[in-house]
Amino acid sequence: MFYIVGLGNPGEQYAETRHNIGWHIMDTCVSAWGLATPVDSAAVAGRITTGVVAGEEVQVLYPGTYMNNSGSAVKKLVPSEQTRQLLVIHDDIDLPWGEIKLVQGRGAGGNNGVQSIIDKLGSKEFARLRVGIAPKSFWTGKIKRPAGGGPLERFVLKKFSTTEKKQLPEVATSAQLVIEAVLEHGVAQAMNTYNTKVS
């Protein structure tokens, strides 16, 4: 069994925000894989669907908790001995918009949702698909990371820009390919294949 969790915040007011890009990617994957529409489950504190993808049994979870408490839902889903079978998809302010990077066994990197999962599972030995949301400078091409605190919180909770919205399907499809590679070939090979493409 493999567990795939997209991070986001519940509620219509957050649906189109950058912080919810993990949910957008899961929507794309669930549709492409022909999985049933996710249903509410009190047992896992979120919406869940199951199926077989790339020959692997999967459970896909959209935590019903707010981002900062994602670990509470994930802990209900993932048995403690299967932590390495977990893949978490989330926004990352330290990567430029649309860039995707697969990591495993790393710290939270400032993402409160990921930190909550680490705290609740008592482990960081799961895989993460980091999806960049940081803007780039028009002049230098470098990331313009919002300052921590209020500016950062306002940025991640803002709706996608018009340009981002147009590019979102392509970003989601790229993420889908990485997830499928993880399921088919394992995390290490997927990292070797895809991380080199998004330097």
Confidence check: pLDDT of 198 > 50: no
Length of the chain: 199
Q: What is the mean pLDDT of the chain?
A: 92
Domain range 2-197, CATH class: alpha beta
pLDDT at 110 (0 to 100): 85
Residue 131: which pLDDT band, with cuts at 50, 70 and 90?
A: very high
Distance CA 172, CA 22 (A): 9
Sequence-separated (6 or more) residues with CB below 8 Å from residue 192: none
* Angle subtended at Cα 95 by Cα 103 and Cα 115, rounded to the nearest 5 degrees: 55
Q: Which amino acid is at 37?
A: T
pLDDT at 45 (0 to 100): 96
Calculate the CA 183 to chain-centre distance: 15
Distance CA 120, CA 23 (A): 21
Calculate the CA 9 to chain-centre distance: 12
**Domain residue extents for the chain:** 2-197
Q: Is 19 a catalytic residue?
A: yes
pLDDT at 138 (0 to 100): 67
Q: Could you identify the residue written with the tokens 């908790």?
A: 65
Say which of 19, 24, 90, 185 is annotated catalytic. Answer: 19
Query: Helix 162-185 to helix 21-32 angle, to the nearest 10 degrees?
Result: 60
